[in-house]
Amino acid sequence: MIYLGIGANLGDRMATMRQALEMLELRGGLVLDCSPVFETPAWGGAAQGSFLNAVVEIAYQDTAPKLLDTLLHIENLLGRIRQVKWGNRLIDLDILEFHREVWSHPLLQLPHPGYTSRAFVLAPFAAFRPDFLPTGSDSSVSDLLPGLDTHGVELSEEPLWI
């Protein structure tokens, strides 16, 4: 099981997120399921507009580093420029979980560090996989969510993937 976080806060956010998933499917990923989309406040201290966020379950036949390369390539093709940590993003694609593998490398950490403490990840995750236990955790994503600040986290009516 592979779960990705996907988000955007610039431009036509939903269209860009959909385009990223279409590009992923052209590069060996298969979207199996997608959470509802949530509108969430920006995180990390930079003043910016709100994000759309979702969690996607995919199938992928290659390695985690190859998937990371693919996601970074898609971000680049869509125009993402990395200037400010936790800054505005045309698109953000993160590997949250990859077959429960644990990696600690400067370019790739699995599971994604800190995702279990971020409401913008756990709200969508809990909405479609409430009983999922994050790697290394004894608590499900739905049990972890109430301990986070969910102020401003709102369910969007528009689906990301059909």
Q: 23-81 pLDDT, tens per residue?
A: 999 999 999 999 999 999 887 666 578 999 999 999 999 999 999 999 999 999 998 77
Q: Is 160 contained in some domain?
A: no
pLDDT at 140: 98
pTM of the model: 0.94
Domain count, the chain: 1
Facing residues of 159 across strands? none
The C-alpha atoms of residue 31 and residue 161 are separated, in whole angstroms, by 8
pLDDT at 44: 66
The C-alpha atoms of residue 101 and residue 81 are separated, in whole angstroms, by 28
The C-alpha atoms of residue 121 and residue 37 are separated, in whole angstroms, by 10
Structural domain of residue 119, as residue ranges?
A: 2-155
Q: Which CATH number goes with the domain that contains 86?
A: 3.30.70.560
Q: Is 162 contained in some domain?
A: no
Return phi, psi of residue 31, to 5°: -75, 120
User: Is the bond preceding 159 in cis, omega lying within 30 degrees of 0?
Assistant: no
pLDDT at 45: 61
Q: Is 105 contained in some domain?
A: yes
CA distance to 29, 77, 152, 153, per residue, from 161 (Å): 14, 20, 23, 20
Q: Does residue 11 carry a pLDDT above 80?
A: yes
Cβ-based neighbour number of residue 95 at 10 Å: 24
Q: Is 87 contained in some domain?
A: yes
Q: Is 75 contained in some domain?
A: yes
Q: Is 161 contained in some domain?
A: no
Cβ-based neighbour number of residue 107 at 10 Å: 9
- Say which residues have a Cβ less than 8 Å from residue 111's Cβ, sequence separation at least 6: 96, 97, 98, 102, 134, 135, 136
